């Protein structure tokens, strides 16, 4: 039973790593759209600022508890959120 539980946890960790990274693609897709269209008129700076602080907090938490999945996924998210914030500042109206 313990072996099966450990195997399940390993598989689930791999799943969460993939989901964690793919879930953060929303930042990159939004940044791409803003840079491509050179317009951020319909994008909320405040909402993405809150999103940035949220993923930054999860990154710090991951570092504190030494959880590599949280660290990788949220490092990816922080970079993406910063890209969106930069794009909004550059192309916002």
Structural domain boundaries of the chain?
A: 2-91
pLDDT above 70 for 37: yes
Averaged over 18-32, what is the pLDDT?
90
Indicate the CATH number for domain 2-91. 1.20.1280.290
Residue 89 to residue 11: CA distance in whole angstroms: 40
Buried (b) or exposed (e) across 24-59, using 16+ Cβ within 10 A?
Answer: beebbebbeebbeeeebeebeeeebeebbeebbebb
pLDDT above 80 for 45: yes
Contact 73, 20 (CB under 8 A): yes
Give pLDDT tens digits for 50-89. Answer: 999 999 999 999 999 999 989 999 999 999 999 999 999 9
Average pLDDT, the chain: 91
pLDDT above 80 for 28: yes
Helices in 1-93 by DSSP H: which ranges? 2-23, 25-37, 45-65, 68-91
Q: How confident is residue 41, by pLDDT bands cut at 50, 70 and 90?
A: confident
């Amino acid at each position: 039973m313990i072996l099966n539980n450990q195997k399940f946890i390993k598989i689930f960790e791999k799943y969460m790593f993939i989901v964690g990274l793919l879930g953060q693609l929303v930042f990159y897709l939004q940044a791409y759209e803003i840079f491509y269209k050179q317009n951020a008129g319909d994008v909320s700076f405040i909402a993405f600022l809150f999103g940035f602080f949220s993923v930054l907090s999860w990154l710090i938490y991951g570092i504190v508890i030494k959880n590599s999945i949280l660290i990788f996924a949220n490092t990816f998210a922080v970079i993406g959120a910063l890209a969106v914030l930069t794009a909004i500042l550059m192309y916002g109206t």
